Amino acid sequence: MAPRTLASTWRQFERLSKLYCKTNPPDPKAINGLRELAEKANRSRIGDALATIFVHRYGGMEDARVEFDCGEESGFSDVPASYNAETDTISVNPVGIMKFMMSCTAAPETLKTAGARESLEVYRIQAFQAELSKLPGQLLLFLLVLREVASASAISEVEKKSGGIETVEDGGYMELLWAFKELERVFHEMKGILIRSEYTIAWYESDWFVGKK
């Protein structure tokens, strides 16, 4: 049997996650299929590859692991990814990533609603997600792994002149922005691809963002 690859595995995750999201409650076949696929993926080297490329390059994350969430018999959460500091592990949830993809796809219409204009924070994150909807699912997977690196590294914390730490309350925008900036950098270094040009993403605020190294 040929080694399991990320590309083929992620296509299977996307197909099963779409099936999962079609009904409420989810189809038991979709739940079981996702759980079995996650277990198989965790026995492969896919998690190691994700960690090596997107996680280990950052200070404090050199030994972190990446694994796929196997869910429960009742299903999966809506959280795309999470970081457990005790086990130093980023857990990737294919269903949560699919729901994030769906929210990005819906963002252009969401921007037209009154709710999206309640505050700058809400409008900005929706506008950013509208641009992110242009990315293929596999790149959103990478992006959300990087967002967990941002969260674990506390990139949204600011040292105050008077001493102490203040956390920027922005609905997670800064972590997502940092993740996008790093995704751009990794792809440019590894493949010479300029993601914004490749996918016509009109979002330039990440040029200004430096954050913690």
Which residue is listed with tokens 């040009």?
Answer: 197
More confident residue, 147 or 4: 147
**Sign of the alpha-carbon dihedral angle for 42, 43, 49, 51:** positive
Closest C-alpha among 141, 146, 131 to residue 183:
146
Instruction: For the beta carbon of residue 22, count every other beta carbon within 10 angstroms.
Output: 10
Domain ranges of the chain: 6-96, 126-207
More confident residue, 115 or 171: 115
Of 28-42, 144-158, 194-208, give the lowest mean pLDDT range: 194-208
More confident residue, 76 or 164: 76
pLDDT for 39-82, tens place per residue? 999 999 999 999 999 999 999 999 999 999 999 999 999 999 99
DSSP letter for 72, please: B
CA distance 209 to 155: 11
DSSP letter for 74, please: T
CA distance 207 to 204: 6
Of the pLDDT bands very low, low, confident and very high (cuts 50, 70, 90), residue 1 is very low
For residue 86, pLDDT beyond 80 = yes
pLDDT for 172-213, tens place per residue? 888 999 999 999 999 999 999 999 999 999 887 655 454 444
Q: Write down the pLDDT at residue 148.
A: 97
| Residues facing 179 on adjacent strands | none
Cβ atoms of residues 175 and 150 within 8 Å: yes
CA 127 vs. chain centroid, Å, equals: 17
CA distance 116 to 126: 7
